[in-house]
Structure 1
Amino acid sequence: MKTFSLVLTSLAIAISGMAHGAEIDAKYIQRIGSVNQVSAAPLSKSAHADALRANLVAQLSQANHASKVTVFNQPLSWQAASTKVEGEGWLVYQVTMSTDRFTQGTLTVKGLENPQVYLNGQLVKSADKVELELTNGDYHLVVLADGQAQDSEFSLDWQGKSEVDNLDFTSQKTQRVSAEQLFDSKVISGLTLSPNGKYLLQSTIEYQASQGDTPIQVTELRKLSDNSVMYRWQDNRPSSAVWSSDSSQLVFVANKKIQLLNVADLSINVVATDMDNVSGLQWLGGTVLFSWEKPFKADEKATSKRFQALEDRWSYWRNNSQLYQVDVASGFIRQLTDNKVSSSLLDSNADKGKLLLTRSPVDYAQPAHGVTQLIELTLADLSETMMGEYRSFNSALYADDGMYITAGPRFMDGRGIQDPNLEVNDYDGQLYWRDAKGNVSALSKEFDPSIGSITKLENDDLIVTVTEGDRAPLYLFDKSKKHFNRIDTGVDMIDGFSVAIEQSTPTLVFAGTSATAPQKAYKMKVNSSRKQLLFDSQQLSYANTRLGKIEDFDFTNTHGHNIDGRVYLPADFDARKKYPALVYYYGGTSPVGRHFTGRWPFNLWAAQGYVVYVVQPNGATGYGQAFSGRHVNAWGKYSADDIIEGTKAFLNAYPSVDAKRVGNMGASYGGFMTMYLATKTDIFAASMSHAGISNLSSYWGHGWWGYGYSGVASRGSFPWNNPELYIEQSPLYHADKITTPLLLIHGNADTNVPVGESHYMYTALKLLGKEVELVEFNDQDHHINTRQARFDWWNTTMAWFDMKLKDEPQWWNSIYPETKEE
């Protein structure tokens, strides 16, 4: 559902106080019509009446800032609703309204034939009385009717459910951001640029209320010079698409086939059929390499399962994936690897006829309780050479005289560690060089940002994604100078990018966002700051949206560490007022990035009247190895102090925040932090933990990845050799110290942090007589991703804080009426 705003040129200053039932003054309402449109049947009599109305309202909503609208060459003008209706035909009325709290009531439409009530472009009900439940936000109300009723005056009446259910009418030309905008708006989900920089494969995703949880996904082949569309897929979209080295062909998987698009004439040829579970395509001369997975088929008659390893809890672990090669000209396919352990392709070298691949056999001998084998395969005889076995390894790429490797600081016996006297975090990615003789050197030891992915250019320089504080920029690594240069993209967070690797001065295309800036996509030269806009979500979906300001807020903790943070202010912030606040953190091994939207919508919370403080406590990557190393064997020891200190500093710096109305929340490790903080402080008036860990031992032994993550976060520590860590840092063992009202949210299909982690804490607090709520989301895993579930999750969270921090329980009681006191 899209949220639209409108201009009401005749509106005066905002009014409110309509809870006891009143007719909405006609000066706040605009009308088009009557419109006697020549048609075989009127709107209400058409065989597709609902669709005709929906399309009409959608178009009128999008055009509501225009004084005139043209329908079948007939100019129509918005006019005051108080003017006399002339002639017969359909009518449409519009009014904007807003509320600063959850509001319930009845809208009554009088004097119209067959009224249809739409809210923000979506049909609410076809009736003259409509029940509305409005969350804190701005709304565009449209009433479409077949005509004016005889002997009856038109009016819109509002009857609030109680004295607090007021509506305001405003002349604002912009609206606060909505949940629907943040989730539904079209964004770029994939970019693949041809090596010569002429062609771009671009994928987008968006949602519409009428489609529910099913996204609308489109992939287009575009000519980069003018951004024109050459070819378009919506059904059977291409996956694993990759360009040939001469940019003349694009190979991809679609409809269980490997297909080849020839750019010259846009013809498509099928290279191979019956290609189910194929991925990871790479060109190698006139052939294509790919991974082909064979799913494990369980015995349907079996009544039990004997686990073969800790990994066997993973639903996909018994599947086996191996490497294959298809000759594009003949379609002949040969198998390149055959192993009980899946083989993963990293890179290929056509000149030397070599492939780089990895395997991960079961090996728990050392933390993080897994091992990666780096293997080189010779295509001539399919012989394999083991290049090494590593417990801290991410990826590798061939270069002319060696290879690049990304791995943790402990790679090659700690080759990447800055200071051997300090603990390091294995998730803090580093860049290495392995020469032709096998000698390895660290390239990023003195580079604080954490290395992510690497893309090699023709001259062996790299485009590198990094985590740098709470930002995710791109860097160019100059091989000859062994130097990192930040690329001036102008955005905080890179969502995706692609580069023309064969140009002397490569062209870069990328999509990204900033904390208060929706997604944009640009093209630019790697060595320049000049950019050309390719895609703008701001204009598509947020042109009439107003956002609050964001301010950086750092402080120095008692240990002398700089703790990064940022503050979001409400859209209509007034420093003379007192606001409730929300404090958000992760506390785990990565910072909270400056994404515009996502699962944690800071801009939405600010739009709903909260000052939002995002703090980056010790333990996060992107701030240097010493900072990230404080994550290891800590489990809240440093992070909790940083969050408490930071919250106090934030309150001192922002007198407009009511210190008695501050809430806190986090998810996963941040959910653990929320529960842990509740045992350490009463600075917060209400808390929410999503998918949090309450018992370190149970998460370590039961979560699908618990043993592996604990191999980093609790490196070398186990319940038998360090019980103090597993007990003293587990919130469950200190539940009796909790005094803060706590909301626990969990997906009941969570495999990462099993739902029992919230149940343990819920049971403890219930038995202790503490204030606690537990809300499970059915069939949801660690992340709540489906559209309606996401909205329900956001609403549950904000209804909880409205109840506890604003003394407004109505929203919570509407969602969960069984909790209402009789």
Structure 2
Amino acid sequence: MLVRKNRFIMFLFLVSILFAEDSKFTLSIDSFLTFGPIKVTLTSGEEKVTSEKLLYQEMDVAKWWPKANEKLFVYANSTLEWKVKSGEQLTFDKSNSASIYYSGFYVETDRFVETELEVNSCNMFSIYLDGNKISDKTTFDENKDGKCEPGKSKTTLQLENGKHFILIKTLIDPTINSDWSINSKLIFDKKYKENVNITLDPIRTTTISDLLNNINVTDISLSPDGKYVALKVRERNKLKDAYENWIELRNVDNGSLVWTFKGSISIPEVDWAPDSKSFAYTSTNGDKKTIWNISISNGTTEALIQDVSNLSGFTWSSNGDYIIYTVNESSKQSDPNFKKYEYPEDRWSSFRDKTSIYRLFVKSKMSELLIPADMNQSFVEISPDSKKLLFSKTYYGESQRPYSRTDYHILDLETMKADSILSLYFASSVAWSPDSKQLLILGGSSTFGEVGNSLSKEIIPNDYDTQAYIYNIESKKVDAITKNFKPQISSAEWDGKNNVIYFVTTDESYEHLYRYDITSSNYEMIDLNVESIAEIDYSENFKTAIFRASSSVIPEKVYKMDLLTGEIDLFMFPEETEYVNIKLGEIKDWDFTASSGQKIKGRVYFPPNFDSNKKYPMIVNYYGGTSPVGRDFGGRYPKNIYTANGYIVYILQPSGATGFGAEFSAKHVNDWGATTAQEVIEGTQKFLTEHKFVDPDRVGCIGASYGGFLTMNIITKTDIFSAAISHAGISNLTSYWGVGHWGYLYNAVAGAESFPWNARGEYVDKSPLFNADKITTPLLLLHGSIDPNVPPGESMQMYVALKLLGKDVELIEVDKQEHWILDYDKRTKWTKTILAYFDKYLKGQSEWWSNLYK
């Protein structure tokens, strides 16, 4: 009986092996890109090749993404070429010296797959996946007769959607008799047979690694004379697992490199001296900073002031005689165990800090205290004539919206007399006019009461829709210069010589540059041939501008513009090499008219190689805060990465977004999803009716912050979405209003004059938490664990409610992250989490999600 039982067990074991083998399929690699040989030098005393020669990284392979016939420098003046070799048994010619060969191939997959890579060779080899080493074989395999007995290396790979480069580095010892050969194969589950392809073609789609790893310019600073530009450059160093930042000083005329400040010289920012012959920067040692001045002509550095404790910022005067710097003193709590709150803002870590303002004379190096330390005090700007200083102090606990007031003061630097000039609500920035007699003020429509409000009295404006004002200091006259101008003002620079102001605006979903002629009150849009301006800087004479910008499907570049002729030239494309091999999809505008009669604008991102005869899953995205979803390339919710993973992406701009005019943005006030949610639902339904290439059963939605609230609000009203994602969303308006560090301040605009005690319909009925029982859509809640803006309890409340209701809900909390997920590794996994969740519910592919959260 025991014998029969053992035979039966053995039979089941053999059947399981056969069944397991039958469920697999093998892709033998029969074409490779090869590179070599590279001679390995044996040092004095070495008689044979050791594994150290294999493990030594003689070339940086981290960014390798080769193609046939591409050349690489190997030694000082020699190159080698990537060549194509075919055959399942890859064989190389032996040389008389120890050598290294590289061979590789691309694996393309349209979904997450797990595979086993098997490499057979008698020789030593290392294996890399997308530039990262994943395994080593550090022995030569020969039997006693000196014949090859290939050793196997098996490595399990998790391949995400896209194209991957597998590189094999082999080391040959000429004293070994066996052939220099490699045999490689990939073993998959049969269900992935139609999803995987082996190729030597480097053309691919974009990934989160491109967004986070590639070299890019993060800041530009143009010298006053327009001859030089300082570019702050950033790149991810794989070996150090950290970002490297440096400054490149370039000639504006021809783009040539003048200086590179990298390595031992760390320059966080560049502040040009008015004569353009030098620039200042700070170095940090503990809590102390030194301000240095570096000469452009010879690179010599001079300390202007050393070891200033808690120095927080500085700026040059226009005449170059002095520098204004500020010192920020952190407050100390008398009893660390007990804190008495004075204002709701006391929750802010820096609320009780005190700022003092100093003047440093450049020639003598003497400094003097101008404004003693005080809470909520800020240096604003030095007047262009260098005779006056503008500073402000903000007061909290005001009885009227937005419950804070900022008073502005002018300090006469000759008499040392300070005069209070005006008090403002809803102001965001104040700057001097070129003649030092007026102020250019940016703020909401209510900044000067009704002066800037173009709406009827019964409509409360959206004061996040920033407008511009000119204020005459002597007469106190205010001119609301953008009162009837629809775009939102993002930044402004005043050209005194030509009496014009340059405005960077949020113009619907675009970031456009406008020139405002003060004399004629005329606005002119300057066509930069880009969709989204990230930053712009002007020469002192406003002849030249340097700006960085991108478009929906065009990565960010740096441009040079002649402001007089309008001529625009490409100055730098940092990611040009990477994007040579990247294919992006197309984008098209798609608008609709809501049942209310309101026109809602939107756009559609298509996957690369889009085929209108296929059915695609779709992701719907909408604004957070009150700003429209911009057309910048990349971002925290990268549409091009979503499309690279096979999704149609539909962006719509519901009522309330800024940049569409005061009447449109005012619809954000006290709406809290009443209008916006219906517009998202209606827009999605109309889109599905008109576009048959989208599968209506595979549509998801995603939003963050206010957009996260909107996600939760939407799925209490409809079941048209198969999955929904809310990042840092508000589930309970009352708790957000009171607990969020800026909750009641944000609601000073978004919920103007509405409070939990007088607007139950706003705070309860519109809160998703109080409608959780109506949700049937699977929901993923994402939140930073220390988010002070929208506290993580907003997601936790909804999670608890849906769990108790037996609903399909997931909560992922990201450790030590705030409102935005910024840490490199965490942002990478957070982005993949979003895609994996949509893959699970919109593609029926749960493997990636399960792999991320085992």
Q: TM-score, normalised to structure 1's length?
A: 0.93
Q: Is the 8 A contact 1:195 1:243 kept in 2?
A: yes
Q: Is the 8 A contact 1:587 1:617 kept in 2?
A: no
Distance across 1 between alignment mates of 2:764 and 2:48: 68
TM-superposed deviation, 1:585: 0.8
Find 1:231's aligned residue among 253, 259, 265: 259
Pair 1:709 & 2:746 matched: yes
Pair 1:329 & 2:363 matched: yes
Distance across 2 between alignment mates of 1:352 and 1:775: 53
TM-superposed deviation, 1:199: 1.3
Find 2:517's aligned residue among 470, 474, 478: 478
Query: 239-248 vs 618-627, which deviates more?
Result: 239-248
Find 1:184's aligned residue among 201, 213, 223: 213
Higher relative contact order (CA 8 A, sep 6+): 1
TM-superposed deviation, 1:151: 6.8
Q: CA offsets, 1:63-105, max 9 Å, x none?
A: 5343555533364551314364221432221111100111002
Q: Is the 8 A contact 1:18 1:158 kept in 2?
A: no
- Structure 1 residues 542 and 355: CA distance shift in structure 2, 3 A: same
Q: What secondary structure sits across from 2:633 in the alignment?
A: coil
Q: CA offsets, 1:675-699, max 9 Å, x none?
A: 0001011110110111100000000
Distance across 2 between alignment mates of 1:802 and 1:461: 51
- 2:306 is matched with which residue? 273
- Structure 1 residues 465 and 33: CA distance shift in structure 2, 3 A: closer
Pair 1:752 & 2:789 matched: yes
Q: What secondary structure sits across from 2:636 in the alignment?
A: coil
TM-superposed deviation, 1:107: 0.2
Find 2:184's aligned residue among 145, 156, 159: 156
- 1:604 is matched with which residue? 641
Find 1:343's aligned residue among 354, 359, 377: 377
Pair 1:455 & 2:493 matched: yes
Find 1:770's aligned residue among 807, 824, 827: 807
Find 1:409's aligned residue among 422, 445, 449: 445
TM-superposed deviation, 1:200: 1.0
Give the residue type in structure 1 aligned to 2:621.
Y
What does residue range 237-248 of structure 1 map to in structure 2 within 5 Å?
Answer: 237-248=266-277
Distance across 2 between alignment mates of 1:553 and 1:634: 24
Q: Is the 8 A contact 1:428 1:622 kept in 2?
A: yes
- 1:12 is matched with which residue? none
Aligned residue pairs, count: 794
Q: CA offsets, 1:150-195, max 9 Å, x none?
A: 3796311212246336531235441111110111111111111111
Pair 1:199 & 2:228 matched: yes
RMSD: 2.3
Distance across 2 between alignment mates of 1:274 and 1:100: 56
Q: CA offsets, 1:4-42, max 9 Å, x none?
A: xxxxxxxxxxxxx9972425141x323334544445379
Distance across 2 between alignment mates of 1:499 and 1:350: 15
- 1:543 is matched with which residue? 580
User: Highest CA radius of gyration, 1 or 2?
Assistant: 2
Distance across 2 between alignment mates of 1:239 and 1:94: 40
Give the residue type in structure 2 aligned to 1:230.
V
- Structure 1 residues 58 and 419: CA distance shift in structure 2, 3 A: closer
- 1:80 is matched with which residue? 85
Distance across 2 between alignment mates of 1:796 and 1:19: 28
Q: What secondary structure sits across from 2:448 in the alignment?
A: helix
Distance across 2 between alignment mates of 1:428 and 1:84: 67
Find 1:491's aligned residue among 530, 538, 543: 530
Q: Is the 8 A contact 2:172 2:180 kept in 1?
A: no
Pair 1:420 & 2:456 matched: yes
- 2:247 is matched with which residue? 219
- Structure 1 residues 719 and 23: CA distance shift in structure 2, 3 A: closer
Q: Is the 8 A contact 2:322 2:361 kept in 1?
A: yes
Q: What secondary structure sits across from 2:505 in the alignment?
A: strand
- 2:292 is matched with which residue? 259
Distance across 1 between alignment mates of 2:530 and 2:574: 13
Pair 1:287 & 2:322 matched: yes
Q: Is the 8 A contact 2:357 2:373 kept in 1?
A: no
Distance across 1 between alignment mates of 2:586 and 2:663: 32
Q: What secondary structure sits across from 1:169 in the alignment?
A: strand
Q: What secondary structure sits across from 1:29 in the alignment?
A: strand
Give the residue type in structure 2 aligned to 1:257.
T
- 1:31 is matched with which residue? 34
Give the residue type in structure 2 aligned to 1:333.
S
- 1:387 is matched with which residue? 421
- 1:586 is matched with which residue? 623
Give the residue type in structure 2 aligned to 1:770.
K
- 1:725 is matched with which residue? 762
What does residue range 640-789 of structure 1 map to in structure 2 within 5 Å?
Answer: 640-789=677-826
Q: What secondary structure sits across from 1:264 in the alignment?
A: coil
Pair 1:616 & 2:653 matched: yes
Q: Is the 8 A contact 2:624 2:704 kept in 1?
A: no
Where structure 1 has 5 or more consecutive residues not aligned to the other structure, the ranges are 1-16, 818-822
Q: CA offsets, 1:614-666, max 9 Å, x none?
A: 11111110000011000001111111011111111211222100001000011
Distance across 1 between alignment mates of 2:368 and 2:453: 42
Q: Is the 8 A contact 1:495 1:513 kept in 2?
A: yes
Find 1:97's aligned residue among 97, 107, 110: 107
Q: What secondary structure sits across from 1:797 in the alignment?
A: helix
Find 1:320's aligned residue among 354, 376, 387: 354
TM-superposed deviation, 1:347: 2.1
Q: What secondary structure sits across from 1:433 in the alignment?
A: strand
- Structure 1 residues 551 and 444: CA distance shift in structure 2, 3 A: same
Q: Is the 8 A contact 1:31 1:81 kept in 2?
A: no
Pair 1:120 & 2:130 matched: yes
Give the residue type in structure 1 aligned to 2:251.
K
Pair 1:566 & 2:598 matched: no
TM-superposed deviation, 1:572: 1.5
TM-superposed deviation, 1:368: 1.5
Q: What secondary structure sits across from 1:133 in the alignment?
A: strand
Pair 1:442 & 2:480 matched: yes
Give the residue type in structure 1 aligned to 2:133.
L
Distance across 2 between alignment mates of 1:431 and 1:56: 51
Where structure 2 has 5 or more consecutive residues not aligned to the other structure, the ranges are 1-20, 138-152
Find 1:467's aligned residue among 506, 510, 518: 506
Q: What secondary structure sits across from 1:181 in the alignment?
A: helix
Q: What secondary structure sits across from 1:168 in the alignment?
A: strand
TM-superposed deviation, 1:561: 1.6
Q: Is the 8 A contact 2:217 2:231 kept in 1?
A: yes
Give the residue type in structure 2 aligned to 1:24.
S
TM-superposed deviation, 1:284: 4.4
Distance across 1 between alignment mates of 2:677 and 2:199: 43
Distance across 2 between alignment mates of 1:176 and 1:354: 54
Find 1:147's aligned residue among 158, 172, 189: 172
Query: 364-373 vs 802-811, which deviates more?
Result: 364-373
- 1:6 is matched with which residue? none
Query: 696-705 vs 303-312, which deviates more?
Result: 303-312
Q: Is the 8 A contact 1:429 1:451 kept in 2?
A: yes
Q: Is the 8 A contact 1:430 1:445 kept in 2?
A: yes
Q: Is the 8 A contact 2:618 2:694 kept in 1?
A: yes
Distance across 1 between alignment mates of 2:48 and 2:244: 28
- 1:8 is matched with which residue? none
- Structure 1 residues 681 and 527: CA distance shift in structure 2, 3 A: farther
- Structure 1 residues 338 and 56: CA distance shift in structure 2, 3 A: closer
Distance across 2 between alignment mates of 1:684 and 1:22: 38
- Structure 1 residues 153 and 454: CA distance shift in structure 2, 3 A: closer
Q: What secondary structure sits across from 2:24 in the alignment?
A: coil
Query: 253-262 vs 739-748, which deviates more?
Result: 253-262
- Structure 1 residues 117 and 312: CA distance shift in structure 2, 3 A: same
Distance across 2 between alignment mates of 1:476 and 1:345: 28
Distance across 2 between alignment mates of 1:29 and 1:428: 57
Give the residue type in structure 2 aligned to 1:643.
V
TM-superposed deviation, 1:404: 1.5
